Structure 1
């Protein structure tokens, strides 16, 4: 992947993975050239297959922006930051990033669900 940009420059993914939390949700948005969408999908599927086989992986879902926007959003649930960190820093995963088209820009960030009485549970 040509570029990984932080959603919050003061607390990028490299810092987030050192915080012990569970469960966690990875939200990762991608922008890319429209011409690179097929290559992006193939690279994402290879990543998803790798991640699915890792301890602590719960689920993932890829979304595409509506209309003509070649923008994607990946939502993945992990049992803990420790599990995500092990997968995210694994040499095999890092190698897979080279398969992404050069136009792809990823913006990953980790979150935790919040309970809001009357609206949602954590």
Structure 2
């Protein structure tokens, strides 16, 4: 049984945009995701965009990893560090990421 079938780790990363073009940031995020998807332990990622233009956090990424160790190794990978460094230094947009790892505490589903 894969670790992800037991209880995957959840990365929630909220992005506080302070200027620039959100579309450019989303395009660059896709490049970073193309690197992440090949890393050990990566399960999935969904980038959410606020429908409220005044929201403090315009983008929220929810990603699933098989373990905290897999996530930490991925974020220490030189290729990912290069891409994320370029994103943080971009003059096309400005943002502050606020990542944290979570474990599921409660799940509720509607029974059909």
- TM-score (ref. length: structure 1): 0.70
Deviating beyond 6 angstroms after TM superposition, the runs of 4 or more aligned structure 1 residues are none
Gaps of 5+ in 2: 1-6
Confirm or deny that 1:110 pairs with 2:97: no
Name the one with the larger strand percent.
2
Confirm or deny that 1:61 pairs with 2:61: no
- TM-score (ref. length: structure 2): 0.76
CA distance in 1, matches of 2:99, 2:72: 13
* 1:31 CA drift (Å): 1.6
Gaps of 5+ in 1: 1-21
* 1:23 CA drift (Å): 2.1
* 1:111 CA drift (Å): 0.1
Cα deviations by residue, 1:9-49 (Å, 9 ceiling, x for unpaired): xxxxxxxxxxxxx6210000012145321221122101111
* 1:98 CA drift (Å): 2.5
Match of 1:9 in 2: none
Q: Secondary structure at the match of 1:38?
A: helix
Cα deviations by residue, 1:55-104 (Å, 9 ceiling, x for unpaired): 11100000001132471000000000111111011111111013323511
Confirm or deny that 1:91 pairs with 2:87: no
CA distance in 1, matches of 2:23, 2:105: 35
CA distance in 2, matches of 1:113, 1:45: 26
